[in-house]
Amino acid sequence: MSRIGFVGLGIMGTPMAGHLIKAGHEVFLFSIPAVPQALVEAGGKACTNGREVAEKADLIILMVPDTPHVRSALFEANGIAEGLTPGKTVVDMSSISPIDTKDFARRINDLGCQYLDAPVSGGEVGAKNATLSIMVGGSDVTFEQVRPVFELMGKNITLVGQNGDGQTAKVANQIIVALTIEAVGEALLFAAKAGADPAKVRAALMGGFASSKILEVHGERMIKRTFDPGFRIELHQKDLNLALSTARTLGVALPNTATAQELFNACAAHGGKAWDHSAMVRALETLANFEIGQSVTTEK
């Protein structure tokens, strides 16, 4: 049994921390506004701030929404950095800026500690089922030390490269997911508007080259109108902002990523920040003045 800290216990962090507790680790917890009571009842130990977590744990994991939250959790008063001593390891499993990640890693390394960026893909379902894909940036040695902990939370665990490279892989992942959601939405909307049953079209496409996890899961959400998250549109907006801002820094054009972001922006403007990201199709439906599943009226 090892002493693990976990900071950030939202939709993703709560089940992830739960797996660590269930595996028999001593887990120290902190979250805003509060540590979920279910984790305490399962054996987790609630702490008053990040510093206390870092003082008591040898490995500290973060799972918070965005770059400013990671910066705050690490370096503000009573933050994790204040509780670190040489030899400890910090693992950021949030999805944040690759550029800022490199700075955070350097600052933690300067304290004599190790740092891994290890963002995840798989959403709430993957977090609950411990089947997350984990993309890691950092040293080989630290990665191998932490791998047994990663294996309690995920299945596809890859050391991509050095600090920042894990976050870069996650941004790339989110570009692909967003563009595939857009493609699936366009295809099913086209099929429905043409008078075909979108559910049967989806079933047919699942057996061919167009098959994908997005078509399987999010295509079904689009047809059944089940847009409870899942993964919220506002979080995918954040990830695409990271993609577009980093691309500007690199001098890379991402035209279709920009289009996907505008569709998410349109959903948010209609009150959809908290919708599942599959609800991007609603923006396409607004443009078409037609909803998937709507009956088709043929003019005579």
Active-site positions read: 170
Q: Which of helix, strand or coil describes residue 60?
A: strand
- Terminal CA-CA length for the chain: 73
DSSP state of 202: H
Q: How many helices (H) and strands (E) does the chain have?
A: 15, 9
Q: Which helix (H) or strand (E) holds 30?
A: strand 26-30
Compute CA distances 297 → 96, 148, 175, 194, 300, whole Å.
46, 58, 36, 10, 9
Candidates 40, 283, 101; CA nearest to 178 is 283
How many Cβ atoms sit within 10 Å of the Cβ of residue 92? 30
- Nearest-angstrom CA–CA distance, 29 and 175: 32
Candidates 111, 98, 94, 105; CA nearest to 139 is 105
